[in-house]
Amino acid sequence: MKSAGYFAFAACCALALPLSTHAAATGAVAFQLGDLPRIVNLSEPQISPDGKRIAVIVSTPDWKTDKSQQELDLVDVASGTRRALTWKREDISTPRWSPDGTRLAFLAKDADTKEDQLFVMPMDGGDALRVTGIKHGVDAYSWSPDGSQLAFVSADEAANAKAIKEHDDAFQVTDNHFLTRAALTPWHLWLVPSAGGTAKRLTEGSYSLQTDQQDDAPVPAWSRDGRSIAFVRFPGPYWGPSFHSVIDAVDTGGGQPRTLVAAEGSANVMYAPDSDNFAFMRPRDGDQNNGNAVYVSVNGDIRDATQALARNFNGYAWLPRGKGLLLAGEDGTHAVLWEQPLSGAAKKLDLGEVEAGAEVSVSKTGALAFVGATTTHPGELYVMDSVRAKPRRLTNLNAFVDHLALGRTESIEWQGPDGFHEDGALTYPVGYRRGQTYPLVLVIHGGPEAASTVKFSPLPQLLAAQGFVVFQPNYRGSTNLGDAYQHAIFRDTGVGPGKDVMAGVDAVQKLGIVDAQRIGVTGWSYGGYMTTWLTGHYPIWKAAVSGAALTDWVMDYTISYYQTGDLYFFGDSPWTAKDHDIWREQSPIAYAKNVTAPTLIMGDVGDPNVPLVNSYEWYHALRDNGVPVEFYAYPVDTHFPKDIVRTTDVYRRWVGWMTQHLK
């Protein structure tokens, strides 16, 4: 494995695409494939209660092992000094300070149980203590207000574990996806002393505190007196019906849970500091086609604190003393933060040129920590002394990028169809010269509940280094232009978004920088769906890259993990007479006979999100109609390869296909 990885890296460097003549003319080297393993990723920043230190996870790709080398680092806010707290640990996640700031907890893979367990580290010196040894590991946890206990979430043992071991293992198909190999068990809530000891179970039943496809388990929230814990209650362990989640609470002494919030779709509950008030996220007005709103319960009265903004938020945090909220989300092509009082208008924070990540940590002093990026620099750790201060960068782990020639990235806006004012991110070729025209490549975001912003992104820069104009359009369904725009994808998943993208292409062409005879379209996931839709409806494309594309809505609904998630796009099942036709009409596979653009197809074999069957359909439809097409599958069980070797290979093929057919 290590040897193969080494030679794969050498081959990658040898096959690296040639630097464009424009980049060469500048004298600086452009961003290229060999730079991908050099990008250091920072995540989950957690500022100490006193605001003086920040714990952050630092992940560095290792080409030889094809893994990311992780460490949990401690950064001094005043000086920026950084030191490692862990050594040779795997699967590090979820660092959390004890309420008094004397200890730091985190999750990491345990050598004995081979599962992610909970560790607690004293901050005055000493080794981390493993405080759980539960069979199926820990998915989420939180400190009690007095720091004496930790509440955590873990999956149950199968009731028929002995029978399964003896191959009596048939399972009932319900809300699972077609790649499921065993029935899931629910996740439940436990308590353990923070100094180590016997864990105590708090909840049980067929409901679950986690699902199989959540990125992160919802964190249990302690009441300020430590007598009860609020949690997100899903109908079961499968993601399909997860939209029916509610918020319950259970006493730490035991007993049956009680419902705090009965409105379905509620999640991400957090109590305000030193208060009985709490907040939670829910699609605005319960409509899954709206953005995520932040609701607050103040003295028992629940209301949408973000109603006036009427847009999607990716995350939130309480500000000191519970007087307001800090909100994270996209505003146009920028990733921003807002200060939202419990009553009154929200105010956008002045971040200058920094694009803020959604993970924001707030200290008791009001200092903020987050990972931010700019148009020309990948993510670094930032701190703000208050919501009124300017961001200050504490790390420079990706300094090498500052010495490269990059394509300039800026926002572009246009008037779209149906009265929508739309936007996207535009990256110019490295060494761009006014008056010249260049081939254009679209990179369409997935989701569709996502957004393209102007922050540094490797793929657009790899394309810009080869002399392409790169356009990342936001289309209806995107989360950056308010609920009306996001909601407009309802029962219009292809036609409307397609018109939005084409209006954006017209706006880019009006700048006079595009060679209209050399335009390509690409995307992954819903971006792949848009790619297949556009190539089946518009004849302008000279090349396409379709990654993990949804091509057949009916099949996708039937075998993917999200199932009922698709229902919200159309209103009802494709297997009903009333709505059968719209599911077919919005499926790109119905228009495959119209495609002429040479197409590269890629995807992961074990993808439960957009099953690779979609891509097999598209491949055979294009091949049988004489369209030049190639199809590459990666033998992993993800929606996009997570390792550096495969990720680099995806980008190599992606950029190479555009270079082959547009230049």
Question: What number is the average pLDDT over the span 547-551?
Answer: 97
Q: What is the mean pLDDT of the chain?
A: 93
Q: Is the dihedral of CA 127, 128, 132, 134 positive or negative?
A: negative
Its pTM surpasses 0.75: yes
- Best CA proximity match to 553, nearest among 538, 534, 568: 568
Task: Supply the pLDDT for residue 353.
Answer: 96
> CB under 8 Å to 617, separation ≥6 — which residues?
551, 552, 555, 589
Q: What is the pLDDT confidence band of residue 5, given thresholds at 50, 70 and 90?
A: very low
From residue 451, give the alpha-carbon distance in Å to each of 65, 176, 422: 33, 28, 12
| Bond prior to 448 in cis (omega within 30° of 0) | yes
Question: What number is the average pLDDT over the span 251-279?
Answer: 96
Task: Supply the pLDDT for residue 46.
Answer: 98
Q: pLDDT tens, 270-317?
A: 999 989 999 999 999 999 999 999 999 999 899 999 999 999 999 999
Phi then psi for 563, rounded to 5 degrees?
Answer: 40, -95
Judged by DSSP in three states, 458 sits in: helix
H or E segment to which residue 334 belongs: strand 334-341
- Best CA proximity match to 441, nearest among 354, 342, 540, 529: 540
- Best CA proximity match to 376, nearest among 334, 407, 397: 407
Separation between Cα atoms, residue 288 and residue 311, nearest integer Å: 13
Q: pLDDT tens, 184-223?
A: 999 999 999 999 999 999 999 999 999 998 878 899 999 9
Separation between Cα atoms, residue 22 and residue 475, nearest integer Å: 31
572 and 604 in contact (C-beta within 8 Å)? no
Judged by DSSP in three states, 217 sits in: coil
Structure tokens at 50: 């006193």
The secondary structure of 565-579 as a DSSP string is HHHHHHSS-TTSTTT
Q: What is the pLDDT confidence band of residue 391, given thresholds at 50, 70 and 90?
A: very high
Task: Supply the pLDDT for residue 217.
Answer: 83
Task: Supply the pLDDT for residue 290.
Answer: 95
Structure tokens at 63: 């080409």
530 and 586 in contact (C-beta within 8 Å)? no
Separation between Cα atoms, residue 373 and residue 503, nearest integer Å: 29
Structure tokens at 152: 């955590």
- Can you tell me which residue has the tokens 């990235």? 409
Span between the terminal Cα atoms of the chain, in Å = 36
pLDDT over 70 at 324, yes or no: yes
Separation between Cα atoms, residue 79 and residue 100, nearest integer Å: 22
pLDDT over 50 at 9, yes or no: no
Structure tokens at 475: 């289309």
pLDDT over 90 at 350, yes or no: yes
β-pair type (93-97, 82-84) = unpaired
Separation between Cα atoms, residue 344 and residue 522, nearest integer Å: 42
Q: pLDDT tens, 376-390?
A: 999 999 999 999 999
Question: What number is the average pLDDT over the span 452-468?
Answer: 97
Task: Supply the pLDDT for residue 155.
Answer: 95
Task: Supply the pLDDT for residue 74.
Answer: 98
Q: What is the pLDDT confidence band of residue 640, given thresholds at 50, 70 and 90?
A: very high
Structure tokens at 140: 């989420």
